[in-house]
Homo-oligomer: A and B are copies of this chain.
Amino acid sequence: MISVDKALQIVLKNGKRLLPKKVKLENAAGLCLAEDIKSDLNMPPFNRSAMDGYAVIASDINPPVDLEVIENIRAGYNPKKKVGRGQSAKIMTGSVVPKGADAVIKVEETKPLDNDRKVRILKGTKKGANIARKGEDVRVGNVVLRKGTRIRAQEAGILAAVGAGNVKAYSTPSIGIISTGDELVEITRKPKPWQIRNSNSYSLAAQARQIVPDVEILGRVNDNEKEIMKLIKRGLRKDILILSGGVSMGEFDLVGGVLQDIGVKIFFEKVALRPGKPTVFGKKGDKLVFALPGNPVSTFVTFELFVKPCIKKMMGFTSYGHPIMHAELEREIKIRKKRREYRPALLSQAGSGWKVSLVDWHGSGDLFSTTKANCLLIVRESVEKLNAGDMVEVMLIDGLNVF
Contacts and interface: CB of A to CB of B under 8 A. Distances in A.
Interface of A: 25-26, 29, 40-41, 43-46, 48, 50, 52, 72, 74-79, 92-96, 107, 132, 136-138, 144-145, 149-165, 181-184, 187-207, 209-210, 217, 222-223, 245, 248-253, 294-296, 300, 323, 325-326, 352-353, 362-371, 373, 391, 396, 398-402
B155 A41 contact: no
B153 A300 contact: yes
Given A44-B196, A75-B250, 17 more contacts: A44-B365, A50-B365, A52-B248, A74-B223, A74-B252, A75-B182, A78-B192, A92-B248, A92-B253, A136-B366, A153-B203, A153-B204, A154-B370, A156-B206, A157-B206, A157-B370, A323-B402
A291 to B, nearest CB: 14
B202 A157 contact: yes
Contacts of A29: 206, 209-210
Nearest to A351: B326
Q: What is the total number of copies of this protein in its complex?
A: 2
A252 to B, nearest CB: 4
B193 A46 contact: yes
A6 to B, nearest CB: 22
Main secondary structure of the interface of A (DSSP, over half): loop
Contacts of A245: 94
Contact of A160 (B74, B202, B300): B202
A365 B160 contact: no
B300 A154 contact: yes
A78 to B, nearest CB: 4
A94 to B, nearest CB: 6
Nearest to A136: B362
Contacts of A352: 326, 391
Contact of A249 (B75, B107, B195, B204): B107
A42 B342 CA distance: 26
7 contacts: A75-B250, A76-B223, A144-B371, A154-B300, A157-B202, A158-B367, A323-B402
